[in-house]
Amino acid sequence: MELRHLRYFIAVAEQLSVRAASEILHVTQPAVSRQIRDLEETIGAALFTRTARGLVLTAAGTAYLAEARDILARVENANRTARRLASGVTGRLRIGFVENASWNGLVPATFNAFQRATPEVALELIPMNTPEQLDAIAAGTLDGGFCYRFGALREGCAEVPLLEHDVVLAVPVDWPLGREGDVDVASLRAHPFVAFPRAVYPAYYDRLIAACAERGLTLDIRQEVSTEAAILSLVSAGVGLAIVNDANRDRPPARVRFAAIRDLSVRLPLAFCHSAQHPPQPALQRFIEQLASVQAA
């Protein structure tokens, strides 16, 4: 049995005429009659009674008509669902992001634009640091993520370069350092610092420590915590200074002041990383296209 058997049967059942059905279907009458006979033989029951006045549905035919309509409706719904998934207008995406990249600019603008353009895609946004995101992308538990990238991209991942941030000094608001504006590295010596543990973000940690060492600064790290939000909370409490992403300027804590460091730069390249599978799954491809559109605007 094929779907055309059901379509022919429904047309004949609705018209109660092989001739009228053949005109609607643009198929010859003998071909329609043959399909109905084949269907009845396959089912093992008569679907029509042939009378002098035309065709009449049997009880089996009446029941079969309701089921046939339901089958075709479900097939069409399945076709529609598949087309929408293939075009990326429905589905599910799991996107990671480093929190400080999402407070202003490109990242939140992309999230907003994508949700407005494709409201039927379930967008799950997951705050994670860069190493966690790259691990999750490699494991297939994350479709993509906004990461600060250092070094070679791991095998199986691809990236869309976006922009660069730099570092800035976070100072407790009641400390005098930086109150008059920018600072230099020499003024940071003999001050306590709060930082990431190296295990959280080895590539960034090594880059920061090396950049400080090149300028004769050895950080006196008094406490290590695993997120920049926690670092800034300790700066707020007066535990020490911190060298943090300048994106934090978009969400300054009440008890923290930021000051540029004139002679220290650690570039933080932000990229959208995703599986190198080609082509990407349709919803992800739409997200990447939306990202490009926002970036170009």
pLDDT of residue 88: 60
Look at domain 3-87 and name its CATH class.
mainly alpha
Are β-strands 157-165 and 268-275 bridged in parallel, bridged antiparallel, or unpaired?
antiparallel
> Per-residue pLDDT for 87 more than 70?
no
> Per-residue pLDDT for 150 more than 90?
no
CATH of span 167-266: 3.40.190.10
Instruction: Mention every residue, 6+ apart, whose C-beta is less than 8 A from residue 9.
Output: 35, 36, 39, 47, 64, 65, 68
> What average pLDDT does the structure give for the chain?
91
Taking a C-beta distance cutoff of 8 angstroms, is the pair 250, 103 a contact? yes
CA-nearest of 167, 156, 286, 277 to 217 is 167
**Is 87 strand, coil or helix?**
helix
What's the pLDDT tens digit per position in 223-232?
Answer: 999 999 999 9
pLDDT of residue 89: 63
Residue 35 parent element (H or E): helix 29-43
pLDDT of residue 75: 84
Q: Is the pTM of this model over 0.75?
A: no
> Per-residue pLDDT for 124 more than 90?
yes
For domain 91-164+269-296, is the CATH number 3.40.50.11260?
no
CA-nearest of 169, 142, 167 to 241 is 169
User: What's the pLDDT band for 127 if we cut at 50, 70, 90?
Assistant: very high
Beta bridge partners of 125: 95
- The residue to which tokens 């006045």 are assigned: 53
What's the pLDDT tens digit per position in 27-81?
Answer: 999 999 999 999 989 999 999 998 878 899 999 999 999 999 999 888 887 777 7
What residue spans in the chain does CATH classification 1.10.10.10 cover?
3-87
User: What's the pLDDT band for 270 if we cut at 50, 70, 90?
Assistant: very high
User: What's the pLDDT band for 264 if we cut at 50, 70, 90?
Assistant: very high
What residue spans in the chain does CATH classification 3.40.190.10 cover?
91-164+269-296, 167-266
> Per-residue pLDDT for 138 more than 70?
yes
Taking a C-beta distance cutoff of 8 angstroms, is the pair 176, 183 a contact? no
